[in-house]
């Protein structure tokens, strides 16, 4: 078989097993070329996948998936696994609506098990799977591939503690490239470095009851083959400590000091040639605005401390960390610890800022509720990637934070509509010292600023409040842009609508409730699951106040939202001006006004 065809003829692990060992380096080279060619166009986790080409080939040659369960921790490094299990022909549709996802997907393949892209879960799955196989008398192995970064998560150690006490055949492949995004932090990172250097005086993993095979060169097929055969023959749980290079084989990734091209953005679409010179000015990313403002506040206030869970740069803490290295705490992928550490910092008299992706805060809800909320501590949570994110799919949309956090007594939640409000609300949050505060904003660029027409208490009216207006639109955060556009369209139809941006979406301001009482219909817009969010809160408040106002919440469904472009998904769930206008007209129509009459009324 000529070398160029090799990759096309490997569509299953069975095809892989019959290849002669001397063909493997060429196969690896072809897979690497494929990854670089495609992922630099589609966007995705290029660095992590380039680091596991040989390792993934070796695992699928030694073990018998799907009979043996192979679990990928976080799953962002599973593109090679997908190529080797028959999905290379769909790689161009990586991380797109209707394409293949950037993580394992049970719907795509029986070789895939864990769809959740939250780190540090693989070993708990491995413990459960191996217990289940043992309890049901099935002789199936479990292979869990876990990164050194994911091993800094607490769940991983809870699982190691359980697996290590058993004699079950769990093979833990520790993919040690020394990094999360940044170099991995903490005593564990130091211990792994000593193991890699051969200077360790003890072995933490062996003392946990595991066999230990290492250190193995993760790019050497012979070494991998020998180590994995030994692991397969081992009785009881065993760790294979493999050393790999994130970004291996692609110099721009290998030389990327920031994060070894952990995630690359999609190549920009060719700019459409238009004569339109009035295109919108490019605004800044939410993350950039936050990072710059926090660094400025850090100059003014020595009590501000920032915390990250291994995502210093992705959450915008680069500038703050450069200016105040001793006031930036990176705890590793350990969100629960980050929150309660922040509680400790607040108890010591400081004001911590926990910068974290919305979806990852879910892991630390108990810590927010009981370690911060119960003690009414001044901790500010800045939730990036709130709402629909897009290419990362269901386990990355930040669509539960409002519903989850509204249950914390004493918490205050803000949703800036643009960069001006982000800076303003960050300062307001940091000035609040009698309990936790939250800011949430989505992935990507902030919209063009929308000026306030009138401020009533903490509420911004974005349109003139006309006494005759029957409709009030209450958007959360950047959906204010949608609300203002809908109001503009409704005005053109003779329907007057007021847009009120609460800025602080929890608790509801009394001034907002007064506005609700003044209107017949209230539409709330939120980039959050509709259950337990802004709309639910406002509906309940209107009901409890005995108001006749009709409240219509519009938001994301209580479902797992798929992969897709943010704008497409928002429109799919009705969070665009067209759907808001239709909802208003339909509402007038349902109140006994015929649709035709409503339209004719609207057209007057
Ligand atoms: C709970 C959680 N926190 C943060 C992240 C974001 N994240 C994705 S991959 C990654 C680094 C993972 O490092 P490692 O496990 O060493 O894998 P590598 O990328 O080095 O292969 C982080 C922090 C996540 N997916 N889940
Ligand atoms: C796998 C993971 O959790 C992160 O790498 C995530 O994919 C980053 O998301 P952004 O690309 O939105 O920063
Ligand atoms: Mg790593």
**pLDDT tens, position by position, 402-458:** 999 999 999 999 999 999 999 999 999 999 999 999 999 999 999 999 999 999 999
Q: Which of 315, 357, 395 to mutate to test the pocket of ligand 2 (most atoms within 8 A of CB)?
A: 357
- Structure tokens that stand for 204 in this block: 């933490």
User: Annotation-wise, does 543 bind a ligand?
Assistant: no
CATH 3.40.50.970, domain 3-254, yes or no: yes
What's the whole-number average pLDDT of the chain? 95
Q: What is the largest CA-CA distance in the chain?
A: 84
Q: What is the pLDDT of residues 497-541, one digit of tens each?
A: 999 999 999 999 999 999 999 999 999 999 999 999 999 999 999
Per the CB < 8 A criterion, the answer to whether 413 and 405 are in contact is yes
pTM over 0.90: yes
Question: Which one of the listed residues 82, 168, 245, 363 is annotated catalytic?
Answer: 363
Task: Map out the domains of the chain as residue ranges.
Answer: 3-254, 286-440, 454-602
Q: What per-residue confidence (pLDDT) applies to 153?
A: 98
Please check the confidence at residue 601 and state whether its pLDDT lies above 90: no
Domain covering 454-602 in this structure, CATH number: 3.40.50.920
Report the C-alpha gap between 49 and 3 in whole angstroms: 22
Residue 181 CA to ligand 1 center (angstroms) comes to 7
Report DSSP state, residue 198. Answer: T
Instruction: Tell me the average pLDDT across 188-214.
Output: 96
Q: What is the pLDDT of residues 11-60, one digit of tens each?
A: 999 999 999 999 999 999 999 999 999 999 999 999 999 999 999 999 99
Q: What per-residue confidence (pLDDT) applies to 305?
A: 98
* 576 phi and psi angles, rounded to 5 deg: -140, 170
Closest CA to 141 of 233, 47, 252: 233
Q: What is the pLDDT of residues 570-581, one digit of tens each?
A: 999 999 999 999
Ligand nearest to the CA of 180: 1
Q: What per-residue confidence (pLDDT) applies to 592?
A: 43
Residue 36 CA to ligand 3 center (angstroms) comes to 19
Q: What per-residue confidence (pLDDT) applies to 273?
A: 59
- Percentage of the chain modeled with pLDDT above 90: 92
Residue 107 CA to ligand 1 center (angstroms) comes to 23
User: Annotation-wise, does 220 bind a ligand?
Assistant: no
State the DSSP string of 94-153. Answer: TTSTTS--SS--TTT-TT-------TT-HHHHHHHHHHHHHHTT----EEEEEETTGGGS
Domain 3-254 and domain 454-602, same fold? Reply is yes
Report the C-alpha gap between 307 and 289 in whole angstroms: 17
Fold assignment, 286-440: Rossmann fold (3.40.50)
Please check the confidence at residue 393 and state whether its pLDDT lies above 80: yes
Q: What per-residue confidence (pLDDT) applies to 378?
A: 99
How many C-beta atoms surround the C-beta of residue 351 within 10 A?
A: 22
Ligand 1 atom closest to residue 150's alpha carbon, by position in its atom list: 15
How many C-beta atoms surround the C-beta of residue 124 within 10 A?
A: 20
ipTM above 0.95, yes or no: yes
* 407 phi and psi angles, rounded to 5 deg: -80, 0
Q: Active-site residue 335, yes or no?
A: yes
User: Annotation-wise, does 262 bind a ligand?
Assistant: no
Q: What is the pLDDT of residues 356-391, one digit of tens each?
A: 999 999 999 999 999 999 999 999 999 999 999 999
Per the CB < 8 A criterion, the answer to whether 71 and 122 are in contact is yes
Q: Active-site residue 280, yes or no?
A: no
272: left (phi over 0), alpha (psi -120 to 50) or beta: beta
């Amino acid at each position: 078989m000529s070398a160029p065809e090799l990759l096309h003829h490997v569509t299953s692990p069975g095809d892989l097993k019959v290849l002669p060992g001397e063909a493997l380096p060429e196969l690896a080279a072809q897979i690497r070329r494929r990854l670089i060619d495609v992922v630099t166009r589609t966007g995705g986790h290029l660095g992590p996948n380039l680091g596991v080409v040989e390792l993934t080939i070796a695992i699928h040659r030694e073990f018998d998936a799907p009979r043996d369960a192979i679990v990928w921790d976080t799953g962002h490094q599973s593109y090679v696994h997908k190529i080797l299990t028959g999905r290379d022909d769909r790689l161009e549709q990586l991380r797109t609506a209707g394409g293949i996802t950037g993580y394992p997907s049970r719907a795509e393949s029986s070789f895939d098990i864990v769809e959740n892209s939250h780190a540090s879960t693989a070993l708990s799955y491995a413990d459960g799977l191996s217990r289940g196989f043992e309890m049901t008398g099935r002789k199936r192995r479990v292979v869990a591939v876990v990164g050194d970064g994911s091993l800094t998560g607490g769940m991983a150690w809870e699982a190691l503690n359980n697996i290590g006490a058993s004699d079950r055949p769990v093979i833990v492949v520790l993919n040690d490239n020394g990094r999360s995004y940044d170099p991995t932090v903490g005593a564990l990172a130091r211990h792994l470095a000593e193991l890699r250097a051969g200077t360790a005086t003890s072995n933490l993993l062996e003392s946990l009851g595991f066999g230990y095979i290492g250190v193995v060169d993760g790019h050497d097929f012979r070494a991998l083959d020998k180590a994995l055969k030994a692991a397969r023959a081992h009785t009881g749980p065993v760790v294979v400590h493999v050393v790999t290079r994130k970004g291996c084989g692609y110099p721009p990734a290998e030389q990327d000091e920031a994060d070894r091209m952990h995630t690359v953005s999609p190549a920009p679409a060719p700019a459409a040639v238009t004569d339109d010179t009035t295109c919108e000015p490019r605004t800044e990313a939410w993350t950039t605005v936050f990072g710059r403002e926090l660094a400025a506040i850090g100059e003014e206030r020595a009590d501000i401390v920032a915390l990250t869970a291994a995502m210093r740069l992705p959450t915008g803490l680069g500038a703050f960390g450069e200016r105040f290295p001793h006031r930036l705490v990176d705890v590793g992928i350990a969100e629960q610890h980050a929150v309660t550490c922040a509680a400790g910092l607040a108890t010591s008299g400081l004001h911590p800022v926990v910068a974290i992706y919305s979806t990852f805060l879910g892991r630390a809800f108990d810590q927010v509720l009981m370690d911060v909320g119960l003690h009414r501590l001044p901790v500010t949570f800045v939730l990036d990637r709130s709402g629909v994110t897009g290419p990362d799919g269901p386990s990355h949309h930040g669509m539960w934070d409002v519903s989850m956090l509204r249950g914390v007594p004493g918490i205050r939640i803000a949703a800036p509509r643009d960069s001006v409000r982000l800076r303003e609300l960050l300062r307001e949050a940091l000035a609040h010292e009698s309990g936790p505060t939250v800011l949430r904003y989505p992935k990507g660029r902030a919209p063009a600023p929308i000026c306030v027409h009138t401020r009533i208490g903490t509420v911004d009216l974005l349109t003139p409040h006309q006494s005759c207006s029957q409709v009030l639109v209450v958007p959360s955060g950047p959906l204010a842009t949608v609300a203002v556009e809908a109001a503009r369209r409704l005005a053109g139809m003779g329907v007057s609508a007021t847009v009120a941006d609460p800025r602080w979406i929890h608790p509801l301001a009394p001034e907002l409730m007064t506005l609700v009482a003044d209107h017949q219909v209230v539409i709330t817009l939120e980039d959050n699951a509709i259950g337990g969010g802004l709309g639910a809160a406002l509906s309940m408040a209107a009901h409890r106040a005995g108001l006749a106002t009709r409240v219509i919440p519009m938001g994301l469904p209580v479902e797992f939202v798929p992969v897709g472009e943010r704008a497409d998904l928002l429109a799919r769930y009705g969070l665009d001006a067209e759907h808001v206008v239709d909802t208003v007209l339909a509402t007038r129509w349902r109140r006994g006004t015929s649709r035709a009459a409503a339209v004719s009324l609207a057209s007057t």
